[in-house]
Amino acid sequence: MVGQGPTPEQIEGDDMPIDAQRRDHHTDKMAAKTGSAVSRRGVLRGALAAGVAASSFPGGRAAGAATVALAPAGQEADREQTLVVGTAASASDLDPHSAYDGRSEMVIYGAYEQLMRLEGDKTDEYVPLLAERWEANADQSVWTFHLREGATFHDGSPCDAAAVKASFERLLALGLGPYEVVGRFVADPAQIATPDARTVVFDLGRPQPLFESAIAAPYGPYVVNARLAKEHEEDGDWGHAWAQTSAEGMGTGPYRVTTFAPEEQAVLDKYDGYWGGWEGDHFERVVIRVVPENATLRQLIEQGEIDIVDNLTPETTDVLAQDPALRVDRAYTTSDIYLAMTVAGPLASPAARQAMAWAFPYDDVIQGVYQGYAKQGRGPLAELTRGFDPDLPAYSTDLDKARQLLAEAGVAEGTTLSMMLTAGSEAANTVAQLFAANLGQLGLTLDVQAVDETTFIGTAYGEAPAEERPSFFPFAWQPDYDDGWNHLSPLLACDAAFGKGSNVGVYCNERVDELLDQARDAADLEAYQQALSEIQNIVTWEDPAGVYYAQIQWTTILRQDIAGFATNPIATGLYDFYRMSRTA
């Protein structure tokens, strides 16, 4: 994924402690390519973006919010046939080839399609979409996708093999946010062949067993109407500037974006020509309302004005779980929350960083801050991520071990460490204060620096040398697809520091770099796992890069009459609207 790593304060703002994620919250790990300061990881940032509450269902207009009407909405859908989603943050980019934040992707997920998509709550099972079937050759270096007949873009033009290839050419040419999801495997459109109108062949040049996972990623590999985008091109941008605020005619999904009101709402209406048809139970309209206040979201779902909302505070979630008209879904995800440690000054030695891992108050944070909506992390990968090592031991809080290691590292009592976090989060500040209390028992001082988000991102992704950086950056991360390499490489690679990735602690270990290359190029999953297991042991125990302290639960509150819902550990905060319906 891209990345500003979402921080706990972003994940756990005062209003939304377990924020709508991948990874994400993140500044773009492709920041140099996107030119954008904030993008995704994640899925872990969207819910805390600033927004203005809509005033009424379904289209109340907030002061100062500009409504972008993309197409006539037509006849007002019946409330029973309308799904209303409440979210604390607004979509900001409707172009699937640049969008990298969860709230933009929520809209995109209903209007655009990939060749295939993750199945329900599974990370390694797939639903055929534009491809009705696919297969790889013996060594998995060539992947062939057979397109379904009758799929069309929302302007009525056919979604055939030439259109699919043109879409991937656009993604690769733009090189924006989610580029590397596909660019890791396919760097040149010449690697994509179209032997006939319903067949697309990707020749990867070497065995790539994870290509299937990447093509189903919820960020990046969407098929867009590249021909139509070209008609709106400005200065060779493939219509990108236009597509950021307009989706008219661009997707193949079951819904068309008919209204986009940034900071207020997005409205999606059913596309009558959808290849999947409209027999059975489906919502005809989806309204995504931006409501920044936790209390207002609670009130709206209690009153039945919205049908679904995610990641309210633990206290609010506990209360709503008692409402017989509602149900709460709790699910662990592929997100990992940690303190990135800067490899300099007092934390220059592995022993000093090991001491920090032993000094962290894990139980106090899990129970006191997350209130049971999380479990302790066991390294840089969440347990649900492919490549996680189940044999990796977990740290516990042991101040005696920490004291011994500090002595070995030559870190004297009276030393001051620093942590930079984003201002405005009581939860993040509580984590810092709990950690500071433990460090105080070791004779160390933790200087907590609460700054605005721009300063946080500028410091983390700026060019300041390691010795001028804070000792700790609170971070969270989530892979773009089910791949531990995709998760770890932007955080740990030596060349991923200073805005070239999300290695904000300027960590560099030559053996880790070698192993990252081995995992990336592994011809089989056994070699892939061996490389990732060794990486996890190194960066957790031998030469720590972070204090990996929490894996949070994604919580969704929805009305009891909503059917077809599932939380996917990778596509968190995204809803398969077409599969959802209202029961009698």
Pairing state between β 142-147 and 199-203: antiparallel
Return the number of other C-beta atoms located less than 10 Å from residue 138's C-beta. 7
Each residue of 354-367: pLDDT tens digit? 999 999 999 999 99
pLDDT of residue 92: 93
pLDDT of residue 311: 87
Per-residue pLDDT at 1 exceeds 90? no
Whole-angstrom distance, CA of residue 250 vs CA of residue 156: 10
What count of residues does the chain have? 584
pLDDT of residue 428: 81
At 426, the pLDDT band (50, 70, 90 cuts) reads confident
At 77, the pLDDT band (50, 70, 90 cuts) reads low
Each residue of 216-232: pLDDT tens digit? 999 999 999 999 999 99
Mean pLDDT for the stretch of residues 561-567: 96
Our CA dihedral for 23, 25, 29, 33, rounded to 10 degrees, sits at: 140
Structure tokens at 322: 């008692």
Each residue of 181-220: pLDDT tens digit? 999 999 999 999 999 999 999 999 999 999 999 999 999 9
pLDDT of residue 543: 98
Mean pLDDT for the stretch of residues 106-132: 97
pLDDT of residue 76: 52
The closest of 345, 354, 349 to 540, measured between CA atoms, is 354
Whole-angstrom distance, CA of residue 401 vs CA of residue 562: 51
At 562, the pLDDT band (50, 70, 90 cuts) reads very high
Mean pLDDT for the stretch of residues 334-349: 97
Whole-angstrom distance, CA of residue 217 vs CA of residue 185: 13
At 453, the pLDDT band (50, 70, 90 cuts) reads confident
Assign 14 to helix, strand or coil: coil
Whole-angstrom distance, CA of residue 67 vs CA of residue 546: 43
Whole-angstrom distance, CA of residue 258 vs CA of residue 52: 20
Per-residue pLDDT at 35 exceeds 80? no
Assign 299 to helix, strand or coil: helix
Mean pLDDT for the stretch of residues 151-159: 98
Which residues on adjacent β-strands are paired with residue 338? Answer: 475, 548
pLDDT of residue 499: 87
pLDDT of residue 71: 40
Whole-angstrom distance, CA of residue 469 vs CA of residue 62: 40
Element (H, E) at 199: strand 199-203
pLDDT of residue 372: 87
Tell me, what amino acid is at 323? D
Whole-angstrom distance, CA of residue 266 vs CA of residue 86: 11
pLDDT of residue 21: 31
Whole-angstrom distance, CA of residue 338 vs CA of residue 395: 13
At 584, the pLDDT band (50, 70, 90 cuts) reads confident
Whole-angstrom distance, CA of residue 569 vs CA of residue 118: 10
Our CA dihedral for 578, 2, 171, 388, rounded to 10 degrees, sits at: -70
Percent above pLDDT 70 for the chain: 87
Tell me, what amino acid is at 241? A
Whether the Cβ atoms of residue 51 and residue 90 lie closer than 8 Å to each other: yes
The rounded radius of gyration (Å) of the Cα atoms in the chain is 23
Which domains does the chain possess?
A: 8-107+261-271+281-332+554-582 (3.40.190.10), 336-553 (3.10.105.10)
pTM of the shown model: 0.86
Whole-angstrom distance, CA of residue 28 vs CA of residue 35: 9
Structure tokens at 558: 């929805």
Per-residue pLDDT at 58 exceeds 50? no
End-to-end CA distance of the chain: 40
pLDDT of residue 13: 36
Return the number of other C-beta atoms located less than 10 Å from residue 518's C-beta. 17
